[in-house]
Structure 1
Amino acid sequence: MIIDRVCEGFSGVLDRDSDVMTSPVHLLSFYGCPSPSDASLSAGSPNYDSDQSWSNAESPQNSLNARRPSRYQGVRVKNTVKELIMLKRHHDIQAHQYPIENECPAIMQALQRAKMEAENLCVSPVKRLRAEDSEILSPCGHIENMFCGTEMLEDIGDVLSKERLSIESVTVRGYRDLCADAESPVYTGCHPLPSVENTHPSSVPPLASGLGLTAAPPVSFFQWQIQHEEEKLAALSHVELTTRDGDGDTFLHIAVAQGRRALAYVLARKMSAVGMLDMKEHNNQSAFQVSVAADQHLIAQDLLLLGAEVNTMDCWGRSPLHVCAEKGHTSTLQAIQKSMQTAGRQVNVEMVNYDGLTPLHVAVLSHNAVVQELFCHGTPPSAQSLALLQKRKQLGECVATLLLMGASLEAKDRKSGRTALHMAAEEANVELLRLFLDQSNCYSVINVKAFNGNTALHVASALQGRQAQVDAVRLLLRRGADPSVKNLENEQPAQLVPEGPLGDQVRRILKGKGAHSRC
């Protein structure tokens, strides 16, 4: 701040180190320069205009100031008020965050002395190391370890002995406080603590073991649910466990149909212990078959681990594989495949239903139905078309999974003798045809005849109104289909092609391939 007027006792000459400085008019005189009002300035000097600007006022006050020998003076402030407040606040924050400095100043002095010695060694020109040894000067190098490991510990030991303190008297943050900070949203540590699910008793930090803390064993949410369900069903007797309702459903069937995995697991484990896990209801379906029909793949996986029977049939003659292939339950089918690989379960992938179809046949027919329905809907996409596309994708994955499980392409249905390749050719299903013809044994089934003597090329050539017919015929010919093979009616594939522009194109492809093969 600037004092407007000072008593005449301060009118003397001030030295440069005093706390009083002149007003802005006499700043030049304070730094050893002549004042603007000095008589040495002449009218022709460069500062003449500025002199006039300071002395143009014609008021009586100005004349009075001109007669008085005193001049304006002020107080020089070293730090502003804002800087003083911020400095005070910084000291308060440090004192609050690090109370150990106030409690044990001797220890802090020992630590600071060791740090200063390490820094002096690193920057000393006499003991400066070479450039290739620069990594030794790192904070984690040998120098800091040497000082921190010997001299600093000795100094701290001397301080503790002089002050008669013990290490337990020093205030430290406990392991529980660290865990609380790690779980809080304001925790910004670089190395967060491991989560509860990944914590193992052997991975407890040394700080926790030193404080006598033990980590709880990892428990998943599913295991926690199982524990609660076991407590609720502890008093359930074997008679109540196998009791059926009017539809023949047990408690396990109802829990599986409702999707209650933990309850179903507890009930299934109890029923497996008494050998009643495969009890069936009025549709001759076990709990595992209910989980397959409801597409509860996690429950199906649990039941398989507990020993549920896979090769079983319901009242319609369907096995669990048939149900998955018909409805496109890819996740459940993959759970069965995983059980085959891990537990070594024997699954009959060639089991036939009452129509004489294997699961692969059922999957191909279901895929053909979706392809035909998409063809009827036309080009403009709709919500139903999107749902059909999703179902076609799931059924295609089921077909691929069945092939991985060992389903045979040479298997024929019991009624007509068709293979899966015949069924895919009936709808000009290029997607499945390409999948089947990419198998290693495709050459052994490409010319297999059905009961009527037709091969897959006969079936594809006789189609009507299928835009993919040309692609299907061309694909079969490229993979080794013989256009000269005759069926029981003594007809070749070219003789079964219908009339029309599309039929003429198919006929030219067949005749060209046939002439090339005869040559």
Structure 2
Amino acid sequence: MHCDKAPKEKPRGNATTLKKLLEDKRKRETCSGLTSYAANPTALMLTQMPVSEQLTCQGASSSYADSTAVSADHWGPIQDSLLSYDPNQGGQTFPVGYDVTMDPDFNPQQHLQGFAPQSYGCQMGAAGQSTVSTWSSLEPSQAPQASFGSCLDAATLENARMLLREMDYARIIGQDEDGDTILHIYTAKGLREWAFAAAEKLRDLGKLDAKEHKGKTALLVAVTANQPDIVKDLLSFGADVNACDVKGQNALHLAAHDCSPQILQVILSNRPAINLEARDFEGMTPLHRVAISHSVTMKGLFVSGTANVFLQAKAAEKLSCVQMLVNAGASPLSQEIKSGKTVLHLAVKEGNVDLLRYLLSIPMYDVKDFVNMKAHGHTALHMAACLHGDPRQEEILRLLLSRGADPSIRNLENGLPAHLLQAGVQGERLKLLLKKRSTSTRRRPAASPDQE
């Protein structure tokens, strides 16, 4: 039974003797096969996992690398001597297999072993577990749906539900020193069945969107951890798809930054709830984020050479994410708040020809307005003129001019794009290209409508 910590009192005996007694107590418990655990709400259910579940994870969260371990081998047998109160069980008490040590020097991290720091992205497998796709034993409202070729394990899910029913209310909704709930931890580790059961419980308690110390809800953790199945589960439970972290990034921002087509597909299917034009605290929309990410990959591909198959695949994947957002209704005309750049400005600034071609191919009512939009006074043509020494500069200039870019537009310093070109032979040649198009633009109003 839990008790509130008593006020600190002056020691009545020798402190060294007290410490020795506590050490002896731990030794006796170890010899008798008992293990004590810190009162950490995120660790509780993990201590009760069946030993038969030998779970492996490739790529656990870097942000959650020091979170509670999930390997069942590191946890001692369940203790029946402790009782906890669960308001959902009519006020009765029952064993929960959780002990609270009285040692003030106890370090909970001594028992949290089994996961080395890695990066996000889990592929979970359970030894001795049968994966099922039928759910006749569950109520229709509780029947989970398989997604992306992954099905929930019925036995594991039922075990998780059972342990949650027996868990103390305070521990279910409790958050550790980092603000993580049990749902954050299971989500970060990719434990879908446990996350599913925890989400059910927290939804009923109105705590599904609890935030950890970086402002991430369990949904945002699932997106960052690249767990599309858990993302879909959480959204089905009603998780707030527009919830933001401390950087103002919602689920769509994070998915766009990491460029995960599967995650984007799940989130975009949640429309119209999702705000496609939401801006983070840097003033960027998800489309800005994915455009920047694509440009970074294209730069790496340009440096390493087109023979890099891995970067080619990543670039294609990220460009598909751009297309998904645009097809879903994200506006290419949206400007970031700080500098006023559109995705077109970002593509030109980074010399990203592939992204530029796609953006210029998007059907628009007036593509000329799009091409000639200003970012702090500079059009995309001004930015292209500043790509000194870039071998793609001429191609970018010609692409912009072919879609109606106007060389006669001046920036805030009253400068034309031609004024920003580099010196030398190449610069002079490009000036002639801009001058020719500028002359053509000035003569165009005199032409008849039929000639237009």
Give the shorter-chain TM-score range: 0.5 to 0.7
CA distance in 2, matches of 1:283, 1:244: 13
Letter in 2 for 1:222: L
Partner of 1:263: 194
Q: CA deviation at 1:297?
A: 0.9
Q: CA deviation at 1:414?
A: 1.5
After superposition, residues 25-424 of structure 1 pair within 5 angstroms as 222=152, 224=154, 225-340=156-271, 345-377=272-304, 379=305, 381=307, 385-424=308-347
Q: CA deviation at 1:501?
A: 4.6
Give the direction of change, closer, same or farther, for the CA distance of 1:463–1:258 in structure 2 (3 Å limit): same
Letter in 1 for 2:332: L
Partner of 2:389: 465
Q: CA deviation at 1:317?
A: 2.3
After superposition, residues 418-457 of structure 1 pair within 5 angstroms as 418-441=341-364, 442-451=367-376, 453-457=377-381
Of stretches 395-404 and 255-264 in structure 1, the one that deviates more from structure 2 is 395-404
After superposition, residues 489-504 of structure 1 pair within 5 angstroms as 489-504=413-428
Q: CA deviation at 1:310?
A: 1.2
Judge conservation of contact 2:378–2:411 (CA < 8 Å) in 1: yes
CA distance in 2, matches of 1:223, 1:502: 64
Judge conservation of contact 1:301–1:339 (CA < 8 Å) in 2: no
Letter in 2 for 1:364: A
Judge conservation of contact 1:457–1:481 (CA < 8 Å) in 2: yes
Q: CA deviation at 1:218?
A: 13
CA distance in 2, matches of 1:509, 1:319: 44
CA distance in 2, matches of 1:420, 1:478: 18
Judge conservation of contact 1:364–1:423 (CA < 8 Å) in 2: yes
CA distance in 2, matches of 1:387, 1:283: 32
Judge conservation of contact 2:306–2:312 (CA < 8 Å) in 1: no
- Larger Rg belongs to: 1
Of stretches 477-486 and 398-407 in structure 1, the one that deviates more from structure 2 is 398-407
Deviations 1:486-506 (A, max 9, x none): 112222212211134543443
User: The residue matched to 2:389 in structure 1 has which SS?
Assistant: coil
Identity of aligned residues (%): 37
CA distance in 2, matches of 1:312, 1:363: 19
CA distance in 2, matches of 1:506, 1:301: 51
Deviations 1:297-328 (A, max 9, x none): 11001100100011121122222222122222
CA distance in 2, matches of 1:223, 1:467: 54
Gaps of 5+ in 2: 1-131, 137-142, 444-452
Question: 1 or 2, which has the higher helix percentage?
Answer: 1
Judge conservation of contact 2:183–2:218 (CA < 8 Å) in 1: yes
CA distance in 2, matches of 1:198, 1:237: 31
CA distance in 2, matches of 1:462, 1:244: 51
CA distance in 2, matches of 1:510, 1:320: 43
Give the direction of change, closer, same or farther, for the CA distance of 1:263–1:199 in structure 2 (3 Å limit): closer
CA distance in 1, matches of 2:262, 2:387: 34
Partner of 2:44: none
Judge conservation of contact 2:277–2:330 (CA < 8 Å) in 1: yes
Judge conservation of contact 2:261–2:317 (CA < 8 Å) in 1: yes
Judge conservation of contact 1:312–1:320 (CA < 8 Å) in 2: yes
Q: CA deviation at 1:268?
A: 0.2
Q: CA deviation at 1:408?
A: 1.5
CA distance in 2, matches of 1:326, 1:465: 29
Deviations 1:72-105 (A, max 9, x none): xxxxxxxxxxxxxxxxxxxxxxxxxxxxxxxxxx
Give the direction of change, closer, same or farther, for the CA distance of 1:352–1:517 in structure 2 (3 Å limit): same
Give the direction of change, closer, same or farther, for the CA distance of 1:425–1:305 in structure 2 (3 Å limit): same
Give the direction of change, closer, same or farther, for the CA distance of 1:336–1:511 in structure 2 (3 Å limit): same
Q: CA deviation at 1:257?
A: 0.6
CA distance in 2, matches of 1:365, 1:502: 28
User: The residue matched to 1:222 in structure 2 has which SS?
Assistant: coil
Letter in 2 for 1:300: V
Give the direction of change, closer, same or farther, for the CA distance of 1:412–1:197 in structure 2 (3 Å limit): closer
How many residues are matched? 299
Q: CA deviation at 1:240?
A: 2.0
Of stretches 280-289 and 482-491 in structure 1, the one that deviates more from structure 2 is 482-491
User: The residue matched to 2:269 in structure 1 has which SS?
Assistant: helix
Structure with more relative contact order (C-alpha pairs < 8 Å, separation 6 or more):
2
Partner of 2:45: none
Give the direction of change, closer, same or farther, for the CA distance of 1:198–1:299 in structure 2 (3 Å limit): closer
Judge conservation of contact 2:160–2:197 (CA < 8 Å) in 1: yes
Letter in 2 for 1:508: L
CA distance in 2, matches of 1:293, 1:467: 36
CA distance in 1, matches of 2:318, 2:164: 39
Give the direction of change, closer, same or farther, for the CA distance of 1:218–1:491 in structure 2 (3 Å limit): closer
Deviations 1:228-259 (A, max 9, x none): 43234331243221122222211111100110
CA distance in 2, matches of 1:218, 1:356: 37
CA distance in 2, matches of 1:283, 1:197: 36
What TM-score comes out, normalization by structure 2 length? Answer: 0.61
Partner of 1:507: 431
Letter in 1 for 2:208: L
